[in-house]
């Protein structure tokens, strides 16, 4: 019987087979990347909602210690403006700020974070929440509990590159996103917002708010720590110039809102402020009315 070799010829992949494999891999990547991205946004939203729950609890503590007053969106504790104010966070002369500075100071949040910023004293952030200098000096800083866990989705196009209301903060795409307080709660008499009309209305207590479950206090923003209760910053039509939208729909097309009863919820884009307050019955203005 003739001897037969045990070896067999090994056939390589043909070009069409290689192309098919590449096409399958590309298809899988195209399917998986959006799913991974959506999963990441869901996780970021959950973390941001945790931050909002913590903020709400700090606001409740502040109100409990200060005759039920709601944390103001903006304030001025300078000597000329302090008369008649119900509470002071600190005695620092000429101290102005936003709700973030009040909660940062009231809860001594600076003690739990080491903010070594070159050229600044160690106590710089004792009474002031982290601003642009912190984000510029500390790479990948994302530990501010008074901001979102997700980054700003884009640069703010409707302004001059300066974060609201005092030019502090970091509003570039990719840095920790803002929560902006409804400036209905502005207590700074000198504040002149968009349109040139002073919005100062004074201090409010929780009992004055008729529908706290529908009254917006915070919203995801890419422009700064406050948002005016007027149409321009809520206008979502990006075809209209200038691009004034300040709300950031950073979670796969949704933003988060914190309401005065303590709950938060995601919101998809609306047409304008009238649409938001009408069809969705979310109150941004006229919070003292039914």
Residue 4 pLDDT class (50, 70, 90 cuts)? low
pLDDT tens profile 162-200: 888 877 888 889 999 999 999 999 888 766 554 445 455
Q: Is residue 144 part of a domain?
A: yes
Q: Are 234 and 275 in contact (CB under 8 A)?
A: no
Q: Are 130 and 141 in contact (CB under 8 A)?
A: yes
Q: Is residue 30 part of a domain?
A: yes
Q: Is residue 288 part of a domain?
A: no
Instruction: Please list, in sequence order, all residues whose beta carbon lies within 8 angstroms of the beta carbon of residue 243, skipping any fewer than 6 positions away.
Output: 157, 158
- Judged against a pLDDT cut of 60, whether residue 20 lies above it is answered with yes
pLDDT above 70 coverage of the chain, percent: 82
Alpha helix (H) residue ranges in 152-279? 273-278
Q: Is residue 149 part of a domain?
A: yes
More confident residue, 197 or 114: 114
Comparing CA positions, the residue from 268, 261, 264, 197 lying closest to residue 232 is 197
pTM: 0.82
Please compute the mean of the pLDDT values over residues 134-163 and round it to a whole number.
Answer: 87
- Judged against a pLDDT cut of 50, whether residue 203 lies above it is answered with yes
Q: Is residue 10 part of a domain?
A: no
Find how far residue 261's CA is from the centre of its chain. Answer: 19
Q: Is residue 193 part of a domain?
A: yes
- Domain span at residue 24 reads 15-278
| Domains in the chain, number | 1
End-to-end CA distance of the chain: 103
Q: Is residue 46 part of a domain?
A: yes
């Amino acid at each position: 019987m003739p001897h037969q070799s045990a070896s067999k010829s090994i056939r390589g992949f043909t070009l069409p087979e290689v192309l098919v494999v590449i096409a399958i891999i590309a298809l899988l990547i195209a399917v998986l990347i959006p799913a991974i991205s959506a999963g990441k946004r869901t996780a970021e939203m959950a973390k941001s909602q945790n931050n909002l729950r913590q903020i709400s609890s700090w606001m409740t503590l502040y109100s409990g210690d200060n005759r039920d007053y709601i944390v103001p969106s903006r304030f001025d504790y300078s000597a000329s403006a302090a008369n008649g104010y119900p509470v002071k966070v600190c005695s620092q002369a000429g101290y102005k700020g936003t709700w973030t500075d009040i909660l940062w100071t009231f809860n001594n949040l600076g003690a739990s974070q080491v903010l070594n910023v070159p050229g600044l004293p160690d106590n710089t952030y004792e009474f002031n929440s982290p601003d642009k200098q912190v984000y510029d000096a500390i790479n990948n800083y994302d530990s501010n509990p008074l901001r979102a866990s997700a980054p700003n989705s884009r640069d703010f196009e409707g302004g001059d590159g300066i974060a609201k209301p005092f030019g502090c903060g970091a509003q570039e795409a990719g840095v920790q996103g803002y929560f902006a307080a409804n400036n209905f709660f502005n207590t700074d008499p000198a504040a002149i917002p968009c349109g040139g009309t002073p919005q100062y209305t004074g201090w409010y207590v929780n009992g004055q708010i008729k529908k706290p479950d529908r009254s917006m206090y915070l919203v995801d923003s890419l422009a700064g720590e406050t948002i005016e209760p007027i149409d321009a910053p809520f206008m979502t039509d990006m075809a209209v110039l200038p691009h004034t939208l300040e709300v950031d729909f950073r979670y796969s097309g949704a933003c988060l809102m914190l309401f005065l009863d303590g709950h938060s919820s995601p919101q998809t884009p609306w047409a304008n402020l009238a649409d938001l307050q009408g069809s969705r019955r979310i109150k941004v203005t006229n919070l003292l009315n039914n």
